[in-house]
Structure 1
Amino acid sequence: MVRINCAFKLLVAQCLFLLCSSQDFDFFYFVQQWPASYCDSRRSCCYPTTGKPAEDFSIHGLWPNYNSGQWPHDCDREASLEESQISDLKSKMEKDWPTLACPSADGMKFWGHEWSKHGTCSSLRQHAYFEAALNLKHKANLLQRLADAGIRPGKFYTLKELKHAMQEGVGHEPYIECNVDPEGNHQLYQVYLCVDTSGSNIVDCPVFPHGRGCGSRIEFPLFSSDLDSNLSLNWRGEL
């Protein structure tokens, strides 16, 4: 009888584990950021140890969300990111998902944070989670979508122009978040797209986030040599 009770308790525990680890969200936010605006939205930023990122949108994260506007997070505090699980993706992640945090780093801390906070709630394994985000960046191709509409870094645009260009190219309405630089300009900062629970398909957003809004005139700043000089000064000032 004791053995039967123990076996039953083990079976219940296994079922509860499977139930808790199953999908428990409604969609993903796939979030990309513009590096020049990121650097203007912080006291300073630092290029990763792998070198200056390209002038392109970079991945911030792939975040499970509920239709209510809430979101799950830190679903398994014991499941830290294992570098061996993403070794074949690292070169693409360094290019498409770079860290700009200070001090300079190789990205593992950033990716580990995204996995622990968001990936553990995704019902995807580590490799599949990061691969899904990389594939979505290629599918969205935001910089090319904007270029196709004549929108390029170094100029100012309206929110309507930016949203229309992205929606025409991607096929779904984005949410655009802005920051304000030291001169008071609103800048194109982050772009949210919604993705189905498989992490494969961009879809219409059930609900938009409550991020920082945008003014009527939005800068799409260059990721330029001027910014390099400012970063160098900021970084030396913090030493």
Structure 2
Amino acid sequence: MLSLSAIPILFLLQFTIFISSTPFNHASGAIIFHTKDGQEQREFDYFKLALQWPGTVCKGTRHCCSSNGCCNRSGAFGDFTIHGLWPDYNDGTWPACCNGKIFDEKEILTLLDPLKKYWPSLSCSSPSTCHGSKGSFWAHEWEKHGTCSYPVAHDEYNYFLTTLNVYFKYNVTKVLNDAGYLPSNTEKYPLGGIISAIQNAFHATPSFGCKKGAVEELYLCFYKDFKPRDCAESHSQNGIISSRSSCPKYVSLPAYEPKARIFEFADSSRQYLSA
């Protein structure tokens, strides 16, 4: 079984080579992307690594299917898992669907094992792609966000490889566990303490999203060379820098507790009970 501590060695070697050979010219004019409807979008300002806490997300599961990681238990549910690596603008907006490149799973066959474990879909829904159709979770993330990652990630494979490497290198789950913030269905933790633990480890401030007092998403932000930066946004209305959060002062990190659920497969009217 793959472990979060064992995998990064090979990936980080490739990651170091990839990053060191990628040019970052912040002084030059921004790259302009054209969407399929002809609209212009400029090059992004920074990256946001969006992570999900399965113990919170999976509590909202109403029915199961073969692709839902909350049901098939294929993910690393003691860890934050990946939602996506998002190119963002400093004003709180973001580019999307920056070219016509369609997701092709064959491009990432060598990455499927870690992707299934650390980047699972936690839903049965088929999200929209940039081409007016429905697709997989990975297809949505690549077409909406990955295509806007140029010039850092040049293609689909490099986008997913880069995301995995950033996730492994900045192992926020280990940071929190080492600080005593462990999955629990009874404990509540001070949000300020969680933030401080991450600040001490990465020298940057994260941001959070919560649902009913439980951490649902955690965001780590990076410059284009993947050095950490604060997840702060400049709001154009008043120019004030702030970090928005839907979390209370004390939050929970619910433990993942799989329960017996009904699997509903679209290609059959039969229902299967999974223990």
TM-score (norm 1): 0.76
Matched, 1:219 2:238: no
CA root-mean-square deviation? 2.9
Matched, 1:62 2:85: yes
Seen in structure 2, the aligned counterparts of structure 1 residues 97 and 214 have a Cα distance that, compared at 3 Å, is same
In the alignment, which residue of structure 2 is the partner of 1:117? 144
Specify which of 66, 69, 73 is matched with residue 96 of structure 2.
73
Task: Say if 2:88 and 2:94, in contact at 8 Å, map to a contact too.
Answer: yes
Question: Percent of counterpart pairs with the same letter?
Answer: 33
Seen in structure 2, the aligned counterparts of structure 1 residues 51 and 221 have a Cα distance that, compared at 3 Å, is closer
In the alignment, which residue of structure 1 is the partner of 2:17? none
> Where does structure 2 lack aligned partners over 5 or more consecutive residues?
1-30, 35-40, 127-134, 235-241, 266-270
Q: Which runs of 4+ in 1 moved over 2 A?
A: 18-23, 40-52, 200-206, 208-212, 233-236
In the alignment, which residue of structure 2 is the partner of 1:91? 113
Instruction: Work out the CA distance in 2 between the residues paired with 1:35 and 1:43.
Output: 14
Specify which of 58, 63, 72 is matched with residue 39 of structure 1.
58
Shift of 1:204: 2.8
Instruction: Work out the CA distance in 1 between the residues paired with 2:115 and 2:251.
Output: 28
Shift of 1:41: 4.3
Specify which of 167, 188, 197 is matched with residue 199 of structure 2.
167
Instruction: Work out the CA distance in 2 between the residues paired with 1:73 and 1:98.
Output: 22
Specify which of 261, 265, 269 is matched with residue 232 of structure 1.
261
Instruction: Work out the CA distance in 2 between the residues paired with 1:205 and 1:70.
Output: 13
Seen in structure 2, the aligned counterparts of structure 1 residues 87 and 36 have a Cα distance that, compared at 3 Å, is same
Task: Say if 2:74 and 2:120, in contact at 8 Å, map to a contact too.
Answer: no
Instruction: Work out the CA distance in 2 between the residues paired with 1:19 and 1:67.
Output: 17
In the alignment, which residue of structure 2 is the partner of 1:207? 233
Task: Say if 1:145 and 1:170, in contact at 8 Å, map to a contact too.
Answer: no
In the alignment, which residue of structure 2 is the partner of 1:190? 217
In the alignment, which residue of structure 2 is the partner of 1:152? 182
Instruction: Work out the CA distance in 2 between the residues paired with 1:212 and 1:235.
Output: 35
**The residue matched to 1:197 in structure 2 has which SS?**
coil
Task: Say if 2:63 and 2:261, in contact at 8 Å, map to a contact too.
Answer: no
Seen in structure 2, the aligned counterparts of structure 1 residues 141 and 233 have a Cα distance that, compared at 3 Å, is same
Matched, 1:29 2:48: yes
Task: Say if 1:33 and 1:60, in contact at 8 Å, map to a contact too.
Answer: yes
In the alignment, which residue of structure 1 is the partner of 2:74? 52
TM-score (norm 2): 0.67
> Where does structure 1 lack aligned partners over 5 or more consecutive residues?
1-17, 181-185
Point out the structure with the larger helix share.
1
Instruction: Work out the CA distance in 2 between the residues paired with 1:40 and 1:179.
Output: 10
In the alignment, which residue of structure 2 is the partner of 1:136? 166
Specify which of 205, 211, 221 is matched with residue 179 of structure 1.
211
**The residue matched to 1:75 in structure 2 has which SS?**
coil
In the alignment, which residue of structure 1 is the partner of 2:104? 82
Instruction: Work out the CA distance in 2 between the residues paired with 1:91 and 1:64.
Output: 25
Task: Say if 2:69 and 2:121, in contact at 8 Å, map to a contact too.
Answer: yes
